[in-house]
Structures are given as structure tokens and as C-alpha cells.
Amino acid sequence: MMGRKKKNIAEIDPDSCMHCFECIDICPLNAINDDLAVDGSLCDGCGKCEENCPSVAIELVEIDTT
């Protein structure tokens, strides 16, 4: 069996988010769209959005890419 590939992507908790859109501005890969949805194929898990979210609404979660 091939090894499973994993990576981290950002996940936004809609209940904690206050829609400041800081994360959209700060993401170097434009991985967060205007609806605050993270595109897992673009996000590389750099963590910049998580570090800069004033509501602590973002966490990095590990996903399977296989």
C-alpha cells in the first residue's frame, strides 16, 4: 500500500469568526475566498491566518490528501 499523504490546512470556525476578513488579506496564497471558505488545494498550512485571527477562530487541521 502506498503511504498516505497528509498536510495541514486552515479551518475556520464560523461560530467564532467575526468577519473582519483579516485572514483573506493576509493569506499569501489567496486560499480563503470571500465566503471565508478555505480552498484545501491552495492552502499550504503556513499558519499566518491562524496567527493573525483576532477571534482565534482558525485552527490548522491535518487532512489526508490521498
Q: Is 15 exposed, middle or buried (0-12, 13-18, 19+ CB in 10 A)?
A: exposed
Query: Residue 37 interacts with ligand SF4 (CB under 6 A)?
Result: no
Q: Work out whether 15 is an interface residue with ligand SF4 (CB under 6 A).
A: no
Query: Least distance from C-beta 8 to ligand SF4, angstroms?
Result: 7
- Burial label for 60, CB within 10 Å (0-12, 13-18, 19+), is middle
Catalog residues that contact ligand SF4 under the rule CB under 6 A. Answer: 10, 12, 17-23, 27, 29, 31-32, 36, 38, 43-49, 53-55, 57-58
